[in-house]
Amino acid sequence: MRRHRNVKIVATLGPASSDYDIIRKLFEAGADVFRLNMSHGTHDEQRARHRLIRQIEADTGRPIAILADLQGPKLRVGAFGDGPHDLVDGAKFRFDLDAAPGSSDRVQLPHPEIFAALEPGAELLVNDGKVRLRVDNYGPDFADCTVTAGGMISDRKGVNVPDVVLPLAALSAKDRADLEFACELGVDWLALSFVQRPEDVIEARELARGRAAILSKIEKPAAVRAFAEILAVSDGIMVARGDLGVELPVHSVPPIQKRLVRACRAAAKPVIVATQMLESMIESPMPTRAEVSDVATAIYEGADAVMLSAESAAGNYPVEAVMTMDSVAQSVESDPTYREVIESSRVAKRQTVADAVVAAAREIAETTDINAICAFTQSGTTVSLIARERPRVPILAMTSVEKVLRRMCLTWGAHCVLVPELHRFKEAVVSAARAARVFGFADETQLIAVMAGVPFNVSGSTNILRVAPCDERLIFRTDPE
């Protein structure tokens, strides 16, 4: 099943997309990666979705990546005794550790870590920033505030503290249990919520023990400030614009998104742009023009993937939402301006032999009649390096390692193919030629570029580039050994 686009689509599963027929329709409509949101649903429900995805993978013969998204340390107020309260501008309000029901002038905030990190003038944001309060005075068990933007406050509403790095554990007890469950289940990617520092990622990586790749969600100002360090220890990044737009001025999010996408591309690590991309399609079969433009912008910027959240998990039109993203992606990538933007933002990286070989493959493909670049990889690194180049021809990502095969489904342009373990370069050339023909990337009269490393089956050894015919008779005639 060949995609006629390079950017990947991530679709979240939920109540609207939990049976075989709907999940298969999402895949056939264009979903490349399925997201399991660990904030919602039981382990049994997530296990059932995982099983259905793997069944669809077997039935269609195409690899599918699964991303488990951990909830992270979610901060919430306590409960109120007499329903919601409308806080008005200028009113005084206290947060404390007292478990007594809240009132019009106070409520429990059961997170002593917040009080320990506060300072005068810090902001507390409630209910996705709809209610804003300024800290006037605080102690180890309270914070007296002034309401600067009034609104309704009610039971268990979320709290954001944008001005300080909170001394919170990167993974809650729930996250640790969910992480182990997801790894044992066999997911391909783990997304970490509310990352603040590189140590958060390192902790999760130690717990995962190589069973899943680690993707860091950038949704806090502290993560933006420490982005270079977080990127260095992550396998991928999600620009999670929901909470980022709450904790930072909303007008600052687009330039941050652009910077982060470019940095990920330069580092040859996949990046997902997420949150509210087609929000209106939760209720409507048609998106707004602004939403279509938002998806298109992420693609023009060079994102590896765009993501659907509630649109596919709980919306009325999950399949239509995927189809819309697919159509937008194909339209953008066929635009000559897209090529101009992508190629003008290419960053030359020639630090290693592999860097040089993949750059040469892209240049050869663009200046000769090469129909595809076929890369053999043990870890996925070679394919990531090729994707960084954003070549004009398709990428066939070939590996004998099943977990690597699935992880590469998140990488820009990668058409992933499972092959037997190979021991000689000629075997790789023949295998690449067959795959190019089978999946419709080339015919027997055309040429492909084949990349691999010698010795074979050793990660990080990419050092060979060959232009080869797709006709196996010519391969054997020119390379009888």
pLDDT in tens, 302-361: 999 999 999 999 999 999 999 999 999 999 999 999 999 999 988 776 678 888 899 999
pLDDT in tens, 271-307: 999 999 999 999 999 999 999 999 999 999 999 999 9
pLDDT for 362 beyond 80: yes
Residue for token pair 């993974």: 171
Active-site residue flag, 76: yes
Give me the catalytic one of 5, 49, 217, 406.
Answer: 217
Tokens of 284: 């409507």
Annotated catalytic residue 217: yes
pLDDT of the residue at 458: 72
**What would the pLDDT profile of 110-128 be if each residue is shown by its tens digit?**
999 899 999 999 999 999 8
The domain locations on the chain are 8-73+170-329, 85-160, 353-478
Q: Is 403 a catalytic residue?
A: no
Task: Domain 85-160: give its CATH architecture.
Answer: Beta Barrel (2.40)
Across all residues in the chain, what is the average pLDDT?
94
Q: Active-site residue among 3, 5, 35, 94?
A: 35
- pLDDT higher than threshold 60 for residue 46: yes
The answer to whether residue 476 scores a pLDDT higher than 70 is no
Annotated catalytic residue within 5, 157, 205, 275: 275
pLDDT for residue 480: 44
Residue 63 burial (10 A CB sphere; 0-12, 13-18, 19+): buried
* Average pLDDT, integer, range 222-236: 97
Q: State the pLDDT confidence band at 479, using cuts at 50, 70 and 90.
A: low
Burial of 231 (0-12, 13-18, 19+ CB in 10 A): buried
| DSSP class per residue in 376-387 | E-SSSHHHHHHH
Neighbours of 206 (CB within 10 A): 8
Write the CATH number of the domain with boundaries 353-478: 3.40.1380.20
Would residue 2 show up in a list of annotated catalytic residues for this protein? no
The catalytic residue among 47, 76, 392, 426 is 76
CATH topology for the 8-73+170-329 domain: TIM Barrel (3.20.20)
Q: Are 157 and 88 in contact (CB under 8 A)?
A: no
Count the Cβ atoms, other than its own, within 10 Å of residue 54. Answer: 15
Element of type H or E holding 42: none
The pLDDT tens digits for 161-207 are 987 888 888 899 999 999 999 999 999 999 999 999 999 999 999 99
Give the per-residue pLDDT at 126.
95
